[in-house]
Structure 1
Amino acid sequence: MRRAGKLLLALLLVVPLTACWNLEEPDEQAFVLGSGLDYTKQGEVMLSSQIVVPSGIGSSQDGGGSQKPDSFRMMKANGKNVYDAVENLQKQVSRALFFGHRQTIIIGHRMAVHGIGSFMDIFIRNPQAELRSSIFVVKNAEAKDIFTITPIFDPIITPTLSREIRSMGLKPYYFRNFLAESMSETKLPLVPLISLNEMHKYVYAGGAILNKDDDLKLIGFLNAKEALYANWILGNLNRLAITALVKKGDGNVSVKLQTLNHKVHVKPSGSQINVDVHLTGKGTIVENNSNLDPTNRMDLMTIQKALSEATQTSIVEMVNKVQKRYKADIFAFGESFHRQQPVQWKTLRTGWKEAFPLLHITVKVDIQCKDPGQSSSSLMKSFQKPG
């Protein structure tokens, strides 16, 4: 019995030493935190990568953490496809490139116009591919340009982009979401869009619509406000700020919505397909420049009605733009039809692309201001001259 116990102990001691014999040590790897894909004028893929330089990361003399300017390096290489570019990039680095900790994937404008579908295979096939990487499209610029930006709060741009999305109330858009939408039967991807301003700083610019039926080529853009509205319909929005003119109050009112809900109902009616979208939001009045008193029930109803109608008008315009100009179901109406009307869907599934521009879509927005803020009527009344 004692002999068997000793043998078991020996085996337990040996297993940890032999199980990892073929793994590379951390100091033999180059950790890639961000990847960018651009399409060159010569028809090649340009891969840009933001790589950690461990020697540049350490503790300062006073005990606090510090980041040296050379803690991260942006490197790039061209290739016939993504893997060929990876191999050419590897020739510039003395450590093995490791993409398992990648946080961000950025698609350049020219690459989006060319179509990225034929370059996605490596991201699915490679076991190192990080499906939780956030993905973005750059408008009127290349992906490599984004990696040269120095953000305000972070040492590098890769985590900043994801935090920016969350700070605006949007749910994170990961590469796994992009893959699911790209393989969807009806839905087209709406990818977060960024651009560069004249100060060489990034700005959130809205959403890029990609055509999954044509090599994921760029169809068009939604601006920042339109993209937020589209994500409200999709249920991907946690909060939203709205400002609207209240004519009866002779001024504007701003509300911060922190409870957002959506309902989509699709129902055939003869030869027509009706889509009813109902959006609701509850929040706090954060600024009141009208002469109405939100603590007064009638005034509050006037404010809510004005906010609801103005927002509804803007969303209807956005939906019409997507439906008539781009003819792209980014709202997952086809998936809603499939769930709600499975029998009828069988006869329509192959023709949904042609049916989408003909849908009869109605949008209803209801905004409620549950908290009028810390004051009653606007301070504007206090500054008006009596008379």
Structure 2
Amino acid sequence: MRRKRKDMLANGRRTAPAFLSLLVCAFLLAGCWNAREVNDLAIITATGVDLTEDGQIELSVKIYLTSPSGSGSMSGQPDGNKGTSVVRSVTGINMADAASRLQKKISRKVFWGQADVFLFGERMARAGLEAPMDFLMRHIASRERAHVFVCDGPAKNVLLLSPSIERSVADALVHMAEQQTGLNITMMDLAQMLISKSKAAVLPIVVIREEQGEKQSFPYIQGVSVIKNGKMIGRVNEDVTRGIMWLRNEIKQATVTVSPEQSDGYVSLHLHRSQTRLIPKIEGGRWIMTVRITGQDDIVENTSDLDLSVPDHIGKVEKELEKVVNTRVKMALGQAQKEFKADIFQFADNFYRKYPKIWEANADRWDEIFPEVEVRLETDLRIARPGLIGKNFFRQEQR
């Protein structure tokens, strides 16, 4: 009996510290002393940054209204989408000053954690993105995976749009970017390009379009802005944009229509898989970049007189497809090397990784070297699935 009592006392001494530790942890986990209700927050979904004529920063934000009562406590410009959000704008000497002034004018705590879109007006982009990017990357609540665009005009005008299909303009732009039919650049991507060896970057351009027969306008991604040393120096059209995407290995979805030689009509192909490899080489003082493009495509429409069940006819389509891709790539190279002299393809980083000592010795001359880099294209595009039929039998029936 005494031995049993001693064992119980010994077990009690061992379990007491563990019990006290669990009790302390329970007290620490149970508290929500610093929690904020959603209805107490001004949730920003999209942000626009413009440069005023007197050189100040105009910060515009689209704030999602979490409750009907919130719409009465904040004045702003309704976006027309059932009054679910408002657009507020303030000006300041820099981003931090503008953000501070924004908080003073809003009764709720500004919350940046849901900002999926950042728009820079063209004037702001041409003046320089490094200062606003420092604030956005340094801010603890900003999202590094947020999408970044340059606007064809003031960014504020885009925030005021109300797309009919999506809940907000932020959702519309995010969905268009994630479809990856054009460039999809995030905050982190832009920061990495700005600090890369080439100091060059690209950003998709947002334009405002009006539907024919409708009064409503909507945002549309068209073309690319070229950034060098933090400033926008030019823009390219959609055909050149495709070439840039091939060179940057960012083609994920694409439909290409070709007209093969010695045939009547067109063949449309949908990209199934693609990869672009950059292979740098320095030989006898010459800087050479081999661009190796491979891919597989599916034929989705054939209005030509070719029988796509015949291997020779398939070869004609593949040859024409490679010609179209090479043409777009050469257009992109021509503008980047000769017109802008901006290494938007990150050639510099590839040369640095393979030849670090040679690169360091020539880093100050890269603006002179890049326009003279010899680019060798090796394109190999194959048709994976020609479809269930070879000929266009509707065309045959008409004859």
Q: TM-score, normalised to structure 2's length?
A: 0.87
2:235 is aligned with 1:238 = no
For 2:149 and 2:105, locate their aligned partners in 1 and report how far apart those are by CA, in whole Å: 26
Task: Find out whether 1:309 has 2:323 as its counterpart.
Answer: yes
1:266 aligns with 2:280: yes
CA distance 1:3–1:68, change in 2 (3 Å): farther
Match of 2:225 in 1: 208
TM-score, L = length of structure 1:
0.89
Q: Is the contact between residue 33 and residue 101 of structure 1 (CA under 8 Å) also seen in structure 2?
A: yes
* Structure 2 counterparts to residues 67-146 of structure 1, below 5 A: 69-139=82-152, 141-146=153-158
Residues 364 and 5 of structure 1, relative CA distance in 2, 3 Å threshold = closer
> Which aligned pairs between 1:1-387 and structure 2 lie closer than 5 A?
1=13, 4=17, 7-16=20-29, 20-56=32-68, 69-139=82-152, 141-169=153-181, 172-199=184-211, 200-212=217-229, 216-379=230-393, 381-385=395-399
Identical-pair percentage: 25
| Preserved contact between residue 171 and residue 238 of structure 1 (Cα < 8 Å) | no
Q: In terms of Rg, which structure is larger?
A: 2
One-letter code aligned to 1:70: G
Q: 1:293 to 1:38 in 2, by over 3 A?
A: same
- 1:162, 1:172 within 8 Å by CA — same for their partners in 2? no
Runs of 5+ consecutive residues of structure 2 not aligned to the other structure = 1-12, 70-79, 212-216
Q: Give the C-alpha shift of residue 152 in structure 1.
A: 3.5
Letter in 2 for 1:184: S
Partner SS for 1:197:
strand
1:166 to partner: Cα distance: 2.3
Deviation at 1:6, TM superposition (A): 5.6
Task: Tell me the CA shift for residue 381 of structure 1.
Answer: 3.4
128-137 vs 334-343, greater mean Cα deviation: 334-343
User: Which SS does the other structure have where 2:67 is aligned?
Assistant: helix
3-state SS of the aligned residue for 2:43? strand
Residues 106 and 366 (structure 1), Cα distance of their counterparts in 2 relative to 1, 3 Å cut: same
AA aligned to 2:24 is L
Cα RMSD (Å): 2.2
Shift of 1:52: 1.3
User: CA distance change for structure 1 residues 244 and 6 in 2, over 3 Å: closer, same or farther?
Assistant: closer
Q: Secondary structure at the match of 1:251?
A: coil
CA contact (8 A) 1:33 1:51 kept: yes
Distance (Å, rounded) in 2 between the aligned partners of 1:372 and 1:359: 38
In the alignment, the residues of structure 1 paired with residue 352 and residue 372 of structure 2 have an alpha-carbon distance, to the nearest angstrom, of 17
Asked if 2 retains the 8 angstrom alpha-carbon contact of 1:132 and 1:176, the reply is yes
- How many residue pairs get aligned? The number is 371
1:193 to partner: Cα distance = 1.5
Give the Cα–Cα distance (whole angstroms) in 2 for the partners of residues 202 and 159 of structure 1. Answer: 11
Pick closer, same or farther for the CA change 1:332–1:361 going to 2, 3 Å. same
SS of match in other structure, 1:54? coil
Q: 1:158–1:56: structure 2 CA closer, same or farther, 3 Å change rule?
A: farther
